[in-house]
Amino acid sequence: MKQKKQSFVNYRLKSAELITVDMVRVAVENDHPIDRNCWSMINSKGECPLKDVTVNDQIVLLRLPKPFKFEEDSYIVYKGLTCYIEPTEVVRTKEFEQLFFYDGDDLGVCYNENQTSLAVWAPTATRMNVICYKTWHDEKGDTYPCRRDEKGVWRIELVGNYEGVWYLFEVYVNQTWRRVVDPYAKFLGVNGEKAMIGDPKRTEPEVWPVLRPQESANDCIIYELHIRDYTISLDNGINHKGKYLGLTEQGTVDNDMRVTGMDYLSYLGITHVELLPVQDYGSVDESNRETDYNWGYDTTHFFVPEGSYATDPYDGYCRNLEFKQLVAALHDRQIRVIMDVVFNHLYIWEESALDMLVPGYFFRYTTDNKISDGTGVGNDFASERKMARKIIIDAISYWVEEYHIDGFRFDLMGILDIETMKQVKEAAKKKNKDILLFGEGWDLPTAYPREKRAIIDQAKSLVGIGFFQDKFRDGLKGSTFEVTQPGFVSGSKQGLNEIISGMQGSMNKFDMPIQAINYVESHDNHTLWDKLKLVHPIERQFTLQKRHKLATAIVLMSQGVPFIHAGQEWFRTKHGVENSYNSPDWINVYNWKQRAHFDSSVQYIRTLIQMRRMHAGFRLESYEMIRNHFKVIKAESKCIAYHLRGLEKVDEWNDILVIHNAGLKEEIIFLPKDKKWQVFVDGDIASLIPLYKIGEDCARVSALSTFICVSL
């Protein structure tokens, strides 16, 4: 008799994902129809019945009778097979935030000589340890278990004096042990590989100088620089080249005995220095910092200064102390400090402590659960989630309080949400009423509604927060992306309305002039000089210099807040390299020899800076004042002239006439009648005392120049 062949059923539970606080989605491989009556959930307390089972082909949705217990590992059981329940989409739900949002101020380390407390937010973790190391390079340390507290916060108290002890958190999440650096760490070792328990008092400078109050809200002239670029040159007289301390040195001079470094910033007369990123970042190996280079738009830790600018990146205190010394030194010169901060993305998000602690929470996902990449660098930070918003606000507040920072430039601010930026402003203003906040309001394709993001089109929802004026920039020099396209200063007949609007502080876009950040050059894209060379490749350098000075003069004399890129005042070039974020020093260096060679241009820009600071007519505080006092008297593609009139109540100059001639020929402008005029800016010369008086009823404005005269 022939034996009947036995058949086997092949069951496999591929995955079980917690997608809401009471819903598990199971992916099944099964040869036969799925039985709805054979499902259950188990954990350490035993078996838990399910409320509802829905089968859709090979996907099964299991409804739990109660919200999921995140504090322990749980499993789905089907016909003797088990599958671990992994929290996935649930961490991005409102219900999850309601359960676990923590508004305390004690995350990270709270140190004193007798006891150190540590706290970390990790609600999906089921176990947590802290590992303590005697030195930063130790591979083995002492392990101490943490206890789970409310809102998913894990805590431990270490009795005794733990100052100088290094530590990592060891988190057990999704059935995997991972060692992570505290995302709220305040002290780090080389490359941020371990955090240190430290005493902030040991990093204080000898004195924090007192800043004089600003005369008005928009009494700001921003000068953007990169610490390494500005200090690395061999001929600047600076000892600590490429370091925080390089910017603290006084009395430094170049080969021609002209002041450099800190003294040059004072000499130039700017009010605010904006530092390219100094939050700890991952794109430079701090152990090889002499040869590695990067701008630093790759944040790894929100609360700690970058180690590659410290004299000793291995010392947990060094970078903090030296950065504070830099801020204090600038404050001593009455120069305020702006940090360029990067909260829109993190460096290698898969390796970030935040994602390892709470997988799937801190980064933005698309509707099909793929990582959002509007930034173009691999990930978008989910600022709209409460704990992501909290770490941004906590970091900003910390930099203001601990490091006395005066302002923040938000990289790709358009990725961040409006509510976060509002709360950032509120928190920062409580600690420094003169805080300056601005950023890039570009509309990028991130997975969050544009009407809820801090893009320039939503500027009126963000009163008091500034935006870079890219249309004004492109109107002046030509399209940033169409590199041979000209702008106003290089002969274009387009964009006249945008340029005039920019000169008036872009009043159609904002609620106040301080929101208009006017610029023609920054670290991004071609320098103005390199752009002009692309537009006019065979033009004489003398003519290019005139175009260049005209563009900078327009920025400095316009209503709003002027922004200057370091070296713009002496025709800085990056030798045609458009994106020099990781180029060698010879591309990025602040060239003091070139600064000396073009000293006359430096003097011209310096005088315009002084003029702006001395005369409130160039920086009116409200749009009502601009509407009352700013009158356009000529608007043509080659020449724009305007009259700042009736300034008796705000300026000792009652009437100011400003003319920008972008043509290749002299322009004749008829002056308002019944007034006599004295000239302060004409051609290549700018002066704080009159150059001459006008003896007729018209001004003759040389080609490619700015002309400023004042009524007697």
Q: What is the per-residue DSSP string for 373-427?
A: -TTSSS--B-TTSHHHHHHHHHHHHHHHHHH---EEEETTGGGSBHHHHHHHHHH
pLDDT given at position 12: 87
List phi, psi (to 5°) of 191: 60, 20
The CATH code for residues 222-618 is 3.20.20.80
Question: Between 3.40.630.10, 3.40.190.10, 2.60.40.1180, 3.40.50.150, what CATH number should domain 630-711 receive?
Answer: 2.60.40.1180
Mean pLDDT by 10 residues, the chain (712 residues): 43 93 94 87 89 93 95 93 97 98 98 97 98 94 98 98 98 97 98 98 97 87 98 97 98 96 98 98 95 97 98 98 98 98 97 98 97 97 98 98 98 98 98 96 97 97 96 97 96 94 96 97 98 98 98 98 98 97 97 97 98 97 97 95 96 97 96 91 97 92 98 92
State residue 674's pLDDT score. 81
CA distance 18 to 360: 12
State yes or no: is 103 an active-site residue: no
- In this structure, the number of other CB atoms found within 10 A of the CB of residue 591 comes to 20
3-state secondary structure of 238: coil
pTM above 0.75, yes or no: yes
Please give the pLDDT value at position 269.
98
Number of H helices, E strands in the chain: 15, 34
- Do domains 11-87 and 630-711 share one topology? The answer is yes
For residue 364, how many other CB atoms are within 10 A of its CB?
25
Maximum C-alpha span of the chain: 128
According to CATH, the superfamily of the domain at 11-87 is Rab geranylgeranyltransferase alpha-subunit, insert domain (2.60.40.1130)
Beta pairing partners, 59 = 27, 56
Based on the residue annotation, tell me whether 411 is a catalytic residue of this protein: yes
- pLDDT confidence of residue 8: 42
d(CA 459, CA 437): 13
Which of the residues 355, 411, 521, 621 is marked catalytic?
Answer: 411
CATH dotted code for 96-180: 2.60.40.10
Among residues 706, 711, 676, 692, which one has the least CA distance to residue 608?
Answer: 706
Domain boundaries, the chain: 11-87, 96-180, 222-618, 630-711
Q: What is the pLDDT of residue 526?
A: 98
CA distance 15 to 5: 31
Alpha helices in 21-110 (DSSP H): 94-100
Rounded Cα gap, residues 275 and 263, in angstroms: 17
CB 347 within 8 A of CB 317: no
- pLDDT given at position 10: 58
Angle at 553 (CA atoms; ends 549, 559), nearest 5 degrees:
160
Q: Specify the DSSP element, H or E, that contains 439.
A: strand 436-439
Catalytic choice (440, 498, 521, 569): 440
List residues bridging with 707 in a β-sheet.
Answer: 659
